[in-house]
Amino acid sequence: EAQVTQNPRYLITVTGKKLTVTCSQNMNHEYMSWYRQDPGLGLRQIYYSMNVEVTDKGDVPEGYKVSRKEKRNFPLILESPSPNQTSLYFCASSPWGGYSGANVLTFGAGSRLTVL
């Protein structure tokens, strides 16, 4: 089954304790992205990657890191989490190009993170 898999789905942690949220896709998509979703603010992009070893900042990158060493994986790293990073996080992937149907994002199930 074609899918984007995120782990963990739920996490409660404390301020300053480094954590990684993993994301993996099995569709051979070039493009991967992380979003956070907060009430009233919608989905905001954190980081994205156009392909292996190519990453760039989205709208809200502060406090986050990413890496893309393999095409299928795109982990999100919070080096020193703070309470304002409490949110619902989505990883998404898509093929990339100018053809019809490109850029259609497939989302993971989401990771709900609470930082105390």
- In 3D space, the residue among 5, 12, 88, 10 whose CA is nearest the CA of residue 43 turns out to be 88
Q: Could you say which of 2, 12, 14, 41 contacts another protein (CB under 8 A)?
A: 41
Task: Indicate if the alpha-carbon torsion angle 23, 13, 37, 76 is positive or negative.
Answer: negative
Q: Is residue 73 part of the contact set for another protein (CB under 8 A)?
A: no
- Tokens 């954190």 belong to which residue? 46
In terms of DSSP bridges, do strands 106-107 and 87-94 run parallel, antiparallel, or are they unpaired?
Answer: antiparallel
Q: Closest distance between another protein and the C-beta of residue 18, in Å? A: 25
B/e letters for 82-111, b = 16+ CB within 10 Å, e = fewer, are: eeebbbebbbbbbeeeeeeeeeebebbeeb
Q: Is residue 61 part of the contact set for another protein (CB under 8 A)?
A: no
Q: Is residue 87 part of the contact set for another protein (CB under 8 A)?
A: no
Q: Could you say which of 74, 94, 113, 115 contacts another protein (CB under 8 A)?
A: 94
Q: Could you say which of 20, 22, 61, 110 contacts another protein (CB under 8 A)?
A: 110
Binding site for another protein (CB under 8 A): 31, 33, 35, 40-45, 48, 56, 58, 90, 92, 94, 96, 100-101, 103-110
